[in-house]
A and B are shown apart, each in its own frame.
Chain A
Amino acid sequence: MSLIRADLGIDAVAEQEPDANRPDTEFVGRTPRQLAWARLRRDRVAMASLCFIVFLALVAIFAPLLTALIGHGPNTEYSNTGLSLSGIPVAPGHNGFLLGTDDQGRDVLSRIIYGARVSLEVGVGATALALGVGLVVGLVAGYYGGWIDAILARFMDILLSFPILLFALAIIARFGPSLDLVLIVIAMFSWPYIGRLVRGQVISLREREFVEAARALGSSDLRIMFVEIAPNLVALAVIYATLLIPVNIVLEATLSFLGLGVLPPTASWGNMIAEAQTGDLFTVAWWFLVFPCVALVLTTLAFNLLGDGLRDALDPRHGRSNITPPTKAQKGRARLRRKATRAGARADA
């Protein structure tokens, strides 16, 4: 019964917002988070994307278990069952290889499963790192203003103006490729996006009366930044982190593709694509090139669609949150970035 009532309530709220401050209306205690979740649940595309991402995460987490079930390790070369007598990879569905094998007789499905680990680890890890740094730097710059802001903001601008790929290549070439280094380098170049966004938001939030009220109470700067202002940045941070993850996944794939990310034989979608392209075997055995590409495209697409859905769900025009809606220019930039992500994924393919 309570379930039914909850559902009805969601519909009613979604339709009657944003004018919730009518007098004499007793509200069912619904937190901003619950409202956003209710809105997100009505968005089928975003929910499908979320399901896909959860599925992918489970696959990545249970990769050893799954490959054990399949019976093929990711790096084992099945020269007897995985390659035909003339050395051609086995097609999907034959000899127990669901997605076929690659040119060295390795199971494509197992490798894609292990590749998901790398992609998610780098994509989510680098984004989390970028989020942490960007949040702190943005908060400090926006809150204190003045010289601190001038220095930090210029620093972010400088980082953003670097040719990321070129610079990443240089760093990795100097220190030698490794998963951790890839993660750090990607985080290093993606935090300014978050930092700049947070800074702008903080500049408008710090003028709000609740910040003044906190100051009148004698709250410390740290307390104001992290207890008063930071909770108001959560929606923004969640949206942009979700949109940054696919960018970083593609960046990792790109670096691996160029041989500077994850080192073979460890599987990553990027180096799978790269290896498949080295010969011209893919003209007869298309599967070991196409399936990693499909995995990459589906993943980036899912994250982008989820990000869009989250933005709609957390959008201030529905609730009375205080994050200003993205301007036309911001929306345009986001669209361009998404396009670039997809184009990048395609280009890699």
Chain B
Amino acid sequence: MTDTERTTGTSDGDLLLEVDDVVKHFPVRSNTLLNRTSAQVRAVDGVSFSLKVSETLGLVGESGCGKSTLARLVTALHPVTSGHIRFKGQDVTTLSRRQMRPLRRSVQMVFQDPYGSLNPRRRVGSILADPFLVHDSLSRSEVKKQVQALMARVGLSPEHYNRFPSEFSGGQRQRIGIARALALRPDLIVCDEPVSALDVSIQAQIINLLEDLQDEFMLTYIFIAHDLSVVRHVSDRIAVMYLGKLVETGPVEEIYSASRHPYTASLLSAVPVAATAFHGPRKKRIILTGDVPSPVRPPSGCRFHPRCPKAQAKCAVEEPVLEQKPGDTPGHLTACHFPVTADEPLAAASREEPPAAAQPTLAEGAQR
């Protein structure tokens, strides 16, 4: 179909998406009538990364760090405040609504909440027909055929065409959401926590489905998640966000085995591991103190410094640049003045550790 035509211009390894210093500030309005802006929520504050065709980028970070906002900037659901997003070399931040239409076709999104992302008053067949009705002029019977093929592809039975979303389970609904995103054979699918609302057993099914579809249709994913083990499983590269900025990005195995940013290290140390004798002594947890600061008034210098176990005077003054640190492979970038070295006892530097049973893990705490 058309997807082959569309991907011929970009051979494997080509850049599909370039995000260049993208900023999104939401004004906090104190007076709606006079439009008086009293403050800015700096949801995304200067983020750059790029994506190759059929690559998966895992985007991790705590709640409120701007992951979902970034996802909505990439899918052009929100306009950017500044910066550029280039899709296949074309700057999409300046496009008008009409010019955006081809982009809508090739960039799609899978939403977090399979209950909220499907209109409860519309039948599944009609929801899935939308992409065809909006973009193509197909006959009614042709649309129905396409929709049923789509349903079959994501593992739903096509006879359920006339059902309402409330008649499906959470996992089935997420399949509907994926089918909708897949309908127009996009190049890039942004998955905004596609499995965090699902049962663990269902999570695996959905992730496998996403991986199969990636192979079949040469899809590129931006995969947002709280669950670090899920991200590790699906991603080729990882980007870690903290308070609207990328703090570290790189190949998945390197991030997991040799993270350089203290925030990444603490995030990873919070992943629950089945502690058996076989695995050797459990890695020390790095417990961060305090809450994530408000994105309305982020800390000076490095945004992580008030909670960082390694923070020094320089961190509060000078903002670190996202750059390659000595000894890392190219593509592994860290924004830190004092990157973590291998086997550095970070946990010792962190303040006293509460009893293990009562520890709220970062990942859990972030999972709402």
**Which residues B83-101 have CB closer than 8 A to chain A?**
100-101
Of the residues B119, B131, B164, contact of A217 by C-beta under 8 Å: B131
> How far, in whole Å, are A210 and B77 apart by their CA atoms in the complex?
13
- Within the complex, what minimum Cβ distance (angstroms) separates A219 from chain B? 5
Binds A, one of B108-116, B285-293, B347-355: B108-116
Determine the distance from Cα of A142 to Cα of B75 in the docked complex, in whole angstroms.
24
Please give, as numbers and ranges, the residues of chain B lying within 8 Å of A220 by CB-CB distance. Answer: 134
Return the CB mask of B98-133 against A: 1 if under 8 Å, else 0: 001100110111011101111111100000001100
B180 x A217 contact (CB < 8 A): yes
In the bound assembly, the distance between CA atoms of A320 and B114 in angstroms comes to 14
Give the distance in Å from the alpha carbon of A216 to the alpha carbon of B117 in the complex: 11
Q: B162: CB under 8 A from chain A?
A: yes
Among B165-173, B309-317, B356-364, which stretch is in contact with chain A? B165-173
In the docked arrangement, what's the CA distance between A49 and B119, Å?
Answer: 32
Which chain A residues numbered 269 to 297 have a C-beta less than 8 Å away from chain B?
none
Chain B, residues 181-203, CB within 8 Å of chain A (1/0): the string is: 00000000000000000010000
Whether A217 contacts B104 by the Cβ 8 Å rule is yes
A29 / chain B contacts, CB cutoff of 8 Å = 162-163, 167
| Cβ-closest chain B residue relative to A149 | B32
A319 to chain B, nearest CB (A): 8
A99 to B108, CA, bound (A): 69
Cβ-based interface call for B33 (8 A)? yes
**In the assembled complex, which residues on chain A have CB atoms less than 8 Å from the CB atom of B104?**
216-218
The answer on a CB contact under 8 Å between B77 and A31 is no
Shortest CB distance B300–A (Å):
33
The answer to whether B111 and A213 have CB atoms under 8 Å apart is: yes
A191-228 contacts to B, CB under 8 A, are 208-210, 212-220, 223, 227-228
Q: Is A163 interfacial (CB-CB < 8 Å)? A: no
Query: Quick check: B119 and A228 within 8 Å, CB to CB?
Result: yes
Residue of B104, B120, B121 most packed against chain A (CB within 10 A): B121
Contact A232 B77 (CB under 8 A): no
- Which of A23, A30, A212, A216 is in CB contact (< 8 Å) with B169? A23
Q: Are A21 and B120 interface neighbours, CB within 8 A?
A: no
Bound-state CA distance A1–B278 (Å) is: 62
B interface residue count range (under 10 / 10 to 19 / 20 to 34 / 35 or more): 35 or more
Complex CA gap A51/B252 in Å reads: 68
Is B134 a contact partner of A210 (Cβ separation < 8 A)? no
Closest to A29 in B: B163
Known contacts A212-B111, A217-B131, A219-B130; is A32 also within 8 Å of B101 by CB?
A: no
Cα A213 to Cα B122 in complex, Å, equals 14
Please, how many angstroms separate the alpha-carbon atoms of A81 and B121 in the complex? 59
A340: min CB distance to chain B, Å: 32
> B100 — which chain A residues lie within 8 A by C-beta?
218
**A23-B199, A209-B113, A232-B121 given as contacts; is B135 within 8 A of A32 (CB)?**
no
Determine the chain B residues whose CB is within 8 A of the CB of A217 once the complex forms: 104, 108, 130-131, 134-135, 180
Name 20 extra pairs, CB < 8 A, besides A21-B115, A209-B112, A321-B121. A23-B169, A150-B32, A209-B111, A209-B117, A210-B117, A210-B118, A210-B119, A213-B109, A213-B117, A213-B180, A214-B130, A216-B77, A216-B109, A217-B130, A218-B105, A231-B119, A232-B121, A234-B121, A320-B115, A320-B166
Contacts from A to B (Cβ < 8 Å):
20-21, 23, 27, 29-32, 150, 208-210, 212-220, 223, 227-228, 231-232, 234, 319-322
Binding site for A on B (CB under 8 A): 32-33, 72, 75, 77, 100-101, 104-105, 107-109, 111-113, 115-122, 130-131, 134-135, 162-164, 166-167, 169-170, 177, 180, 199
Sorted nearest first, the 10 A-B pairs with minimum C-beta distance are A218-B104, A231-B121, A209-B117, A209-B116, A210-B119, A27-B167, A216-B109, A209-B111, A232-B121, A213-B117
